[in-house]
Amino acid sequence: MKRDKVIGAILLAVALSAITGLAIITVFIFREGVPIILRVGPRQFFLSTDWDPSLGHFGILSMMVGSLFVTVGAAVIGVVFSLSLAIVLTQFAPPGLSAALKPVIELLAGIPSVVYGFVGVVTLVPLIRQWLGGPGLSVLAASIVLGVMILPTITSIAIDALQAVPKSYLEGSIALGATRWQTVTMVLLRAARSGLVAAIILGMGRAIGETMAVIMVAGNALDVPRSLLAPVRTLTSNIALEMGYASGDHRQALFATGVTLFVIITILNTAALAISRQRAGKRRAT
Amino acid sequence: MRLSPVTSQRLAVGFMWLLTGITFAVLVFILAFILVHGLPHVTWTFLTHSPASMGREGGIFPMILGTFLVAGLAVLLAAPIGVATAVYLSEYTREGRLTLVIRFGADCLSGVPSIIFGLFGFVFFAITLGMGLSVLSGSLTLALMVLPTIIRTSEEAIRAVPTSYREVSLGLGGTRWQTVFYVVLRSALPGISTGIVLSLGRSISETAAVMLTAGSALRLPRSLFDSSRTLALHFYLLSREGISMPNAYATASVLIIAILALNLLAYALMRRFAVKVGH
Amino acid sequence: MASRALGAACMKSIFPTLVVLLVFGTICTGCRRTSERSVSLLGSTSIQPFAEMLAERYAKDHPGEFVEVQGGGSTAGLQATESGLVNIGMCSRSLTAKEALVFTSILIARDGLALVVNRENPVIKLSVEQVRALFAGRVTNWRDVGGKHGPIRPITREEGSGTRESFVRLVMGKERIAGRALTQESNGAVKELVKGDPAAIGYMSLGLVDKDLKAVAIDGIQPTVENVLADRYHLVRPLLFVTKGAANVAARKFIDFVLSPPGQNLLASEGLVKSQ
């Protein structure tokens, strides 16, 4: 039908412009960022801790380490709490309570990151400074705040992963005399392992990308953090702090940081996808 | 000392309930902390007046308007384009290399940190295209930021519609577009609208990407080309610089309530559409 | 039935295309708006609060005039002026020789640079050498500069900050600021941090110090406006409005207001030093 063809053409035009737009962004970022990496030298860019734009030194190692520490810290907290939450809600809580609590977790996801950062600065940072020492603005503060922020992400994917395990596995285990907890550890978690790993990786991807909350609680010092209580600067904070006034090489170096983040997060997301697909593949085989 | 299975179960489950309790306690604490400090200051005057003295006095009306404009325009642009793209990808093309690449690209971009979109928007929209720090720069940047997410969630929702629906519609004599519009989209609507509402929430909360695209002007924007401050950015600046803590809390309260209302709306929409379609 | 389908099709597909066209159309007409718009300033977070005050007074006296002020730091201000994003850049340090070739600068006031510590900190005076050693990380305990035993936490600004640049020129000289110094992106953020941390020390605009903080005497001289005027307190930097070439009419009017007695008196009453 002619009308159908017209509509199809319009949809194609719209889809093409959308895809072109998104492609332009990717190309732009890489085109701005990659040359400076090559000019400075990849070893210098990725392995030097000397970030001094006024002297033309662009080494992002201390910020990569910073992002790494903070992300791993957040993942640890996220894992512990999210997993508990997911297990409790799918296995041990009465169904009514479960259904009521799930949207509440989604609420956590809706709170803006600046609010998290603010509450962290006003409550958590002074606590850390007083009871644990250091400036309070630290890897620890950032990890805790980020851990809370990625909770909803990890929890909802983990719940999906746990609920995807066939009930027959669990019933079989109970029938064989295991307690519910033994069933959880020996059957449920094993069976859902790939989905859970995917959840954690996706949570880490979110944590790496977080900017505002980290700027507020991490201290933004340039040195590589020596302890949990040391201040830290992440890749994202660095971009946010400097992009207003960076120009020339400096600005390109910030784009290069963006490229680095892009690649890291793409790797994480692809890994998560591959792992969860592997699980689906296994299930089809059994 | 070997614990009996029953004891270890009690300990483990008890521990997990504890962690669950702590999680909800933290959530309640964060909300209560902001709302208790802020709600008393949220008056009608506060919501309808402009700020004075850098935000120490006065209200937040320009910020409310600014947030509406920047986030609203962003979603107004991204939603139709994103859904149309998703429709085209899933209904009008065959599964192949190209669609896989596009899907992968959209997945990648939906994970890219917002600050990178902000950097791009600043350099491309504000400087290169000459739009300056403006509502337009901000909303275009945000639109690009949420577009991949809308494309992906819409596509997932559309692909979740059973093929039988399509076959029945075509069997009854419907054209492809009629099938798509009356059957597929209607069935996928809960998923699609959830994605759109979530993107709206994300746009409202966004600070990093609007800082240097929409700017931080305190005045009421007269047009799309004026700079305007969003609620999230205003809250950030007020609290960070210690300009006015009461107003900061109040701004955050307005922000949180708006987002909560939005999430509730999403939830209600989803349930209503799901019921209608008979899922 | 068919017309409804067509109508719906229009809504779904033509609408977004139209919107996209509209957007791109307005983009082209939107370029070069800084010349038509009223006055827009961007830059130093030291100047920002004062510029806001001036803008408010100006708007009261000249209803209909639109003055927009944003922060971002001195270097960001220079760049925004250079790229045409705004018509006036705010800069809290003197221009380099290269910059002076591109920009026209107007001195609107002078501002002392204060070293601030927490109110609980017993230290009330430091020498310039001590401050330098402190920020370079050579001295790490408050005990070594006359205070209570405890770690020193220096707070610095981001690289594009005019305040930081002035601090480096006036105090640090060739020495680099320690890598472990906490970085904040505005005077207000430095103030909040020093307010909350008893071991912190930072530098900020003298005009923005309030009773929540303590500004230490440098080389025996108290950081007051009188001492800056009398040239006794030496940590002083210029506050500049910067334009690319000659300012446009609207900007010129605003600058004239800032330099006029009412404008200058407003600045002086807030802790800055008049530009004369």
Q: What is the pLDDT of residues B36-54, one digit of tens each?
A: 999 999 999 899 998 888 8
CA distances from C116 to C111, C127, C153, C180 (A): 15, 13, 12, 18
Question: Does a structural domain hold residue B94?
Answer: yes
Lowest mean pLDDT among A1-10, A55-64, A106-115: A1-10
Question: Does a structural domain hold residue B98?
Answer: yes
pLDDT band at C37, cuts 50/70/90? low
CA distance B91 to B21: 45
> B147 and A22: CB-CB below 8 Å?
yes
CA distance A81 to B20: 7
Average pLDDT over residues A105-118: 88
Residue C40 sits at φ, ψ, to 5 deg, of -130, 135
Which of C3, C6, C13 is most worth mutating to test chain A (most A CB atoms within 10 A of its CB)? Answer: C13
Say yes or no to pLDDT of C191 above 50: yes
Question: Does a structural domain hold residue B249?
Answer: no
Say yes or no to pLDDT of C12 above 60: no
Question: Does a structural domain hold residue A3?
Answer: no
C96 and chain B: CB distance < 8 Å anywhere?
A: no
Which pLDDT value is given to residue A211? Answer: 95
CATH number of the structural domain spanning residue B125: 1.10.3720.10
pLDDT band at C22, cuts 50/70/90? low
Domain of B159?
Answer: 65-230
Question: Does a structural domain hold residue A239?
Answer: yes
pLDDT band at C75, cuts 50/70/90? very high
Tokens encoding A273: 């996808």
Question: Does a structural domain hold residue B147?
Answer: yes
Interface of A with C in 233-262 (CB under 8 A): 233, 241-242, 244-247
Which pLDDT value is given to residue A1? Answer: 61
Which pLDDT value is given to residue B275? Answer: 55
Tokens encoding C233: 């307190």
Average pLDDT over residues C177-204: 93
Domain of A193?
Answer: 9-285
CATH number of the structural domain spanning residue A279: 1.10.3720.10
Say yes or no to pLDDT of A106 above 50: yes
Which pLDDT value is given to residue C131? Answer: 95
Say yes or no to pLDDT of C3 above 80: no
CA distance C140 to C133: 9
Say yes or no to pLDDT of C43 above 50: yes
pLDDT tens per residue, range A187-208 = 888 888 888 998 999 899 999 9
Which pLDDT value is given to residue C10? Answer: 45
**Number of domains chain A is built from:** 1
ipTM summary value: 0.90
**DSSP state at residue C145:** G
Tokens encoding C82: 């250079």
Say yes or no to pLDDT of A177 above 90: no
**Number of domains chain B is built from:** 1
Tokens encoding C18: 């139209």
pLDDT tens per residue, range B74-107 = 999 999 999 999 998 888 888 888 888 888 888 8
Q: Which residues of B touch C70 (CB under 8 A)?
A: 133, 215-217, 227
Question: Does a structural domain hold residue B261?
Answer: no
CA distance B183 to B177: 10
User: Please, what is the angle between helix A2-40 and helix A249-285, to 10°?
Assistant: 120
**A22, B106 in Cβ contact below 8 A?**
yes
Tokens encoding A256: 């290069």
Question: Does a structural domain hold residue B256?
Answer: no
Average pLDDT over residues C28-45: 66
Q: How far is C33 from chain B (nearest CA, A)?
A: 8
Q: How far is A206 from chain C (nearest CA, A)?
A: 24
Which pLDDT value is given to residue A81? Answer: 94
Collapsing DSSP to helix, strand or coil, A6 comes out as helix
Average pLDDT over residues C178-183: 93
What average pLDDT values come out for chain B (279 residues) when binned by 10 residues? 81 91 92 94 90 86 94 94 90 82 87 93 91 92 95 89 85 82 83 88 93 89 89 93 91 93 82 59
Interface of A with B in 192-231 (CB under 8 A): 205-206, 208-212, 216
Long-range Cβ contact pairs of C265-271 (< 8 A, separation 24 or more): C266/C53, C266/C54, C266/C57, C267/C50, C267/C54, C267/C108, C267/C109, C268/C109, C268/C225, C270/C50, C270/C53, C270/C207, C271/C206, C271/C207, C271/C208, C271/C209, C271/C225
Which pLDDT value is given to residue A73? Answer: 96
Which pLDDT value is given to residue C27? Answer: 53
Say yes or no to pLDDT of A31 above 70: yes
Question: Does a structural domain hold residue B119?
Answer: yes
> A110 and B17: CB-CB below 8 Å?
no
Question: Does a structural domain hold residue B93?
Answer: yes
